[in-house]
Amino acid sequence: MESISFVTHVVCSECGKNFSHRELQTFCPTCNKPLVAVYDLEKAKATMKKERVAARPFDMWRYRELLPVESEANIVSLGEGCTPLIQLKQAAQQLGVREVWVKDESQTPTASFKARGLAMAVSKALELGVEKLAIPTAGNAGGALAAYAARAGMQSYVFMPNDVPRTIYMEAKLTGAHVELVEGIISDCGRMVAERKDAEGWFDVSTLKEPYRLEGKKTMGLEIAEQFHWQLPEVIIYPTGGGTGLIGMWKAFAELVEMGWLDCALPRMVSVQSEGCDPITRAFRAGRLDSDFFENAETVAAGLRVPKAFGDTLVLKALQESGGVAHSVSEQEILDGVVEIARAYGLNLCPEGAATWAALKRMRDAGELSESDRVVLFNTGSGLKYPEVMEMLTSD
């Protein structure tokens, strides 16, 4: 069978040791750091054509040579990817930049960008013969795993905090996942999966503890490049929990450069977190490439309640290499952002998405923007998944 993918192997992001992509992989057993997929980019350069990609179906699998699934039959899809870029015209004037766009990930099958990573991880796990998947999650990733596992006919075991938005709990439950509500946050859920996975025969798809969710998130970078006609915006602002999307986009741009598909400057990658949980901002400000565990994490932006990202070094490297920055915003700025953008533009951002708008204003105040900048904000999910927040913002 000829592979639809140009993947060649996976490599440790720390020590550079190679591993087979034809066997089930987790993370580097020596360094305890993430493994990342490597592709034959020479072959991609020689054989892939932008026009051919453009003519393919409108979903993230249009970039199949640069994705790890080898047989089309193993693709587990609900139509994820190819989300719109929505322009905020007055915002550009207000902030003194050229353009402001929202990459609207609310328009994915599970109403959050987690659909991309989990579609990829589930597809690859199916290809490698896995039957049971487990995930510790801040919320949305659990809903996405449940949906894709159902579609693939696999069992899923989802561990989420007991104060997760109710809709997200129900989403996972409805699609047949075994859901456990945990007293605590994602790190406590992670401990439970780690303790039980061997005895239960679960494959752990925790963020970056398997190599392929990253490849799903990478498609956000490929898409932005295609949507900007193989140019790139100057600034991308991303709400960081585990940071997979930010790392994935930075990887996408590096691959496209190597293929000769981009001849523009790379964007400044900007991370935003809540002041209630901002380990990456603190590490960035200290000039470090690793982060400390953030105690007593608390934020309305459920997806940002990640006290220690497994891929923290990769996030911090991407911020540094791109000349980017990390900001923290207050809970009030996040809530104000939801209301402001809803009223001015009709977009119901999730709190994590609203944090990017708050970060953009922080950048303006800090003199970090120029009038030629085109900015992309990531709305990583739908505000409709957070009825408790909507209620708080609309009750008299």
Ligand X SMILES: Cc1ncc(COP(=O)(O)O)c(C=O)c1O
Give the nearer residue to ligand X in terms of CB position, either 60 or 259: 60
Q: Does 239 sit near ligand X (CB under 6 A)?
A: yes
Q: Is 243 in the site for ligand X (CB under 6 A)?
A: yes
- Smallest gap from residue 141 Cβ to ligand X (A): 5
* 312 near ligand X, judged by CB under 6 A: no
User: x/- site string to ligand X, residues 344 to 373, per CB under 6 A?
Assistant: ------x-x---------------------
- Closer to ligand X by CB, 65 or 204: give it: 204
According to the binding rule CB under 6 A, does residue 281 interact with ligand X? no
Q: Which is nearer to ligand X, 233 or 248 (CB)?
A: 248
Asked if 80 touches ligand X (CB under 6 A), the answer is no
Give strand ranges (E) for the chain.
7-12, 18-19, 35-39, 85-87, 99-104, 132-136, 155-161, 178-182, 203-204, 235-239, 268-274, 325-329, 374-379
**What x/- string results for residues 141 through 180 when contact with ligand X is judged by CB under 6 A?**
x---------------------------------------
Residue nearest to ligand X (CB): 303
The answer to whether 324 contacts ligand X (rule: CB under 6 A) is no
Under 8 Å between Cβ of 251 and 77: no
Q: Which of 211, 245, 337, 383 binds ligand X (CB under 6 A)?
A: 245
Question: Is 140 near ligand X (CB under 6 A)?
Answer: yes
Burial label for 107, CB within 10 Å (0-12, 13-18, 19+), is middle
**Side chain identity at 26, as an amino acid letter?**
T
37 binds ligand X, rule: CB under 6 A: no
Which tokens sit at 320? 């540094």
Closest CA to 100 of 357, 301, 338: 357
- Minimum separation from the CB atom of position 57 to ligand X (A): 25
Q: Tell the burial category of 24 from Cβ atoms under 10 Å away from its Cβ (0-12, 13-18, 19+).
A: middle
Q: Are 387 and 165 in contact (CB under 8 A)?
A: yes
User: Which residues have a Cβ under 8 Å from the Cβ of 326 and sit 6 or more positions away?
Assistant: 240, 270, 271, 272, 273, 278, 280, 281, 284, 285, 319
Q: How many residues bind ligand X (CB under 6 A)?
A: 19
Determine if 123 is a binding residue for ligand X (CB under 6 A).
no
Q: Give dist(CA 198, CA 153) in Å, integer.
A: 21
| Binding residues vs ligand X (CB under 6 A) | 112, 114, 138-141, 207, 239-245, 303, 350, 352, 380-381
